[in-house]
Amino acid sequence: MHKRHVVCSRGYSYEDCQATADWLLAQAAVRPQVAIVCGSGMGGLADTLKDQVAFNYKDIPNFPLSTVPGHAGRLVFGTLKGRPCVCMQGRFHLYEGYPVQKITKPMRIFALLGVETVILTNAAGGLNQDFKVGDIMIIKDHLNIAGFAGNHPLVGPNDDRFGVRFPCMSDAYDRDLQQLALDVGQDLGYGDFLRDGVYCVVGGPSFETIAECRMLHKLGADAVGMSTVHETIVARHCGMRVFALSLITNKAVMEYDSEEKANHEEVLETSRVRASQLEKFVSNLVSRIKPSKLSNS
């Protein structure tokens, strides 16, 4: 009982999430069906929303703050090809020092806003040797190595109002949405740089060693990054569908004679180069997602 009180009082309880959702619902007329999270350097996605109502994270009650370059820190409501959406222009990462419950709290708030589908985007290093910088990888599965050891967003008392104690993750990434994204990519002529694969989350903020990259690849990962998986788990826990993609912004360094060095500037530069194609991809995908219930916005 005491333990439950401690966890709830940190600001991640159902009531805390509901209070933030109520505040947002009172400020914005849009009732979003789709939530989009912008990866590093991909904040331009949010700028494509029409009829925007935007909030700086610092002005939203009980919302974390963005601290990473390439993550502006704004929550943008609006429409994308007529579909009501909310977009996180900036996400939170474990290495910023936030507890995993805090970086995933926006997912619970989205569920309480009535969001049905979450689209997560990220920048990632390519481990699969067939991948090239600039490829877009549709995430079909993930490896949550830290999660095996207990650094998992659902650790703590379970609130059944969000979801079940032991949620299934074999269907974490919605297969219909993956197929729809492939169709959208083909229609846009993106076939040459559209892939699918397994994303592995690491804690960061240092990039991986050569031995770590080789290990992750052997374990079945095609791309490595420092986000997304925690958000996926929490979004699934509260019943939302998830589609996720990685932009391969750099090749993971796998050879000892390589002169390459992973760096955040290259990550942001690759995101900039692919920005308009990513925006088209996501907006076309959003326009073709069938809502499961009729919106009143």
Which residues sit at the interface with ligand R1P, rule CB under 6 A? 39-40, 68, 91, 93, 122-123, 204, 225-227, 264, 267
Residue 19 CA to residue 280 CA, distance in Å, equals: 34
Answer for which of 63, 207, 243, 281 binds ligand HPA (CB under 6 A) is 207
Query: Which among ligand R1P, ligand HPA, none contacts residue 93 (Cβ within 5 to 8 A by kind)?
Result: ligand R1P
We find the least distance from the C-beta atom of residue 94 to ligand R1P, in angstroms, to be: 9
Torsion of CA 267, 268, 271, 273, to 10 degrees: -110
Catalytic-labelled residue, pool 28, 35, 40, 57: 40
208 binds ligand HPA (CB under 6 A): yes
In the set 35, 46, 93, 221, the catalytic residue is: 93
Size of the site for ligand HPA (CB under 6 A): 13
Between CA 192 and CA 201 the distance in angstroms is 26
Q: In the bound complex, what is the minimum distance in angstroms from residue 122's beta carbon to ligand HPA?
A: 7
Q: Which does 39 bind (CB under 5 to 8 A by kind): ligand R1P, ligand HPA, none?
A: ligand R1P
Provide the b/e sequence for 24-47 (b: ≥16 CB within 10 Å): beeebebebbbbbbbbbbbbbbbb
CA 55 to chain centre: 19
Exactly one of 35, 107, 123, 244 is catalytic; name it. 123
Q: Which is nearer to ligand HPA, 146 or 262 (CB)?
A: 262
List of residues 6+ apart from 233 with CB closer than 8 A: 104, 144, 147, 152, 153, 154, 167, 169, 172
Residue 250 among the catalytic residues: yes
Asked whether the beta carbons of 101 and 225 are under 8 A apart, the reply is: no
- Could you give the CA distance from residue 45 to residue 276 in angstroms, rounded to a whole number? 8
16 binds ligand HPA (CB under 6 A): no
Please indicate if the annotation marks 91 as binding a ligand: yes
Q: Phi and psi for 115 in degrees, rounded to 5? A: -65, 140
Q: Which of 17, 49, 112, 224 binds ligand HPA (CB under 6 A)?
A: 224
Nearer Cβ to ligand R1P, position 14 or 98?
Answer: 98
Cα 14 → chain centroid: 21
Among 37, 60, 103, 123, binds ligand HPA (CB under 6 A): 123
Instruction: Give the shortest CB-290-to-ligand HPA separation in angstroms.
Output: 32
119 binds ligand HPA (CB under 6 A): no
Handedness of CA 46, 53, 57, 60 (dihedral sign): negative
List helix spans (H) across the chain: 2-7, 14-27, 44-47, 100-103, 105-113, 145-148, 175-187, 210-218, 229-237, 264-288
Instruction: Work out how close the CB of 121 gets to ligand R1P at its nearest, in angstroms, rounded to a whole number.
Output: 7
Rounded CA-CA distance 205/65 in Å is: 17
Q: Which of 35, 80, 267, 285 binds ligand HPA (CB under 6 A)?
A: 267
Say whether the peptide bond before residue 205 is cis (omega within 30 degrees of 0): yes
Catalytic residue among 264, 269, 275, 279: 264
258 is in an annotated binding site: no
Q: Which of 62, 95, 151, 215 is catalytic?
A: 95
250 annotated binding-site participant: yes
For helices 229-237 and 105-113, angle between their N-to-C axes, nearest 10 degrees? 40
Residues at the contact surface with ligand HPA, assessed by CB under 6 A: 123-125, 207-208, 224-226, 249-250, 252, 262, 267
Q: Which residues are annotated as a binding site?
A: 40, 71, 91-93, 123, 208, 227, 250
